[in-house]
Amino acid sequence: MQISKKNIQIILITIMFSMYSCGPKSVLHQYKLSARTDPFANESLISSQTYQYSFKFGNNKDELIEKNILFHIGKYLDSIGWKYVKDSNQSEIIISIKYNISESDQKYTKRVKKGSEQVVVTNWDGTPKKDKEGNIKYKNKNIYGSEERTREGYLKEYSINFAYKGDPLWSIDISSFDKRHDIVKVSKRIIPKALKENFLKNGSKSGKYKFYVGCMDKDASNYCKKCEISAKKECEY
């Protein structure tokens, strides 16, 4: 049985759609961060050297959530050469956190189409363009305006403190807004990014960051070959 050209096109379109639909779904996070160092600390303490570190637990109601967030901080520190030690008496840096999650409404302005109007079509010199019968040509022009809208979601707030042998050395406050309630999953993505951008520095920043759900996780239901390319920016997760 011969397959028609039209059926071949349908099959190819179906295959292409299935390939793209297997890819990871994106989640947009809006975040703010503010960091500061101890101005009286020795400058060498906040240089690029590495430290042995440990965690201080028990600053939050849910210690399991606290430990999971600290775990993601530790993974970043390990990636830059720091070494975790369980006994805080043997560590140089002790890290503690406080976190909070709350329902929040975020107002934003969206550009929307309000209507249209007819305007004269002009030549390059500004004169009206005419048709063969000498009538002035018109075209529709869209009219846009702005509307205030509300986005519902959850505000996640983190306060991370680094102490050097008991003295405050560096701290960073991070807030993240998105539709997800799970603060642990969000911390897995937003904390490494915030630390990477402002680690042991003063400064503040705000922006948006898109994460792809399922990237680099072969057990995810939406896993596909796209997630195997770790160098791709869209697969940073």
pLDDT tens over the chain, length 237 residues: 555 655 555 555 554 444 444 445 556 667 888 999 888 887 777 766 789 999 999 999 899 999 999 999 999 999 999 999 998 899 999 999 999 999 888 777 888 888 888 888 888 888 889 888 889 898 888 888 888 888 888 889 999 999 998 899 999 999 988 887 888 888 888 888 888 888 888 888 888 776 655 544 444 444 444 444 444 444 443
The pLDDT of residue 12 is 52
H-run or E-run covering 201: none
Predicted local confidence at residue 218, as pLDDT: 43
Q: In the numeric block, which tokens belong to residue 228?
A: 């195997």
Determine the topology of domain 16-110+148-235 in CATH: Double Stranded RNA Binding Domain (3.30.160)
pLDDT at 97: 95
pLDDT for residue 70: 94
DSSP structure class, residue 136: B
Nearest to 200 by CA among 236, 156, 237, 160: 160
- All CATH 3.30.160.670 domain ranges of the chain, comma separated, are 16-110+148-235
Q: Cα separations (Å) of 228 from 4, 22, 188?
A: 36, 13, 19
Who's near 39: CB < 8 A, 6+ residues apart? none
229: Cα within 13 Å, side-chain hemisphere: 9
How confident is the model at residue 73, as a pLDDT?
94
Per-residue model confidence (pLDDT) at position 198? 85
Q: Tell me what pLDDT residue 205 has.
A: 85
Beta carbons within 8 Å of 31's beta carbon, 6+ residues apart: 174, 175, 176, 177, 190, 193, 194, 206, 207, 208, 209
pTM of the model: 0.66
**Do 202 and 12 touch, CB atoms closer than 8 A?**
no
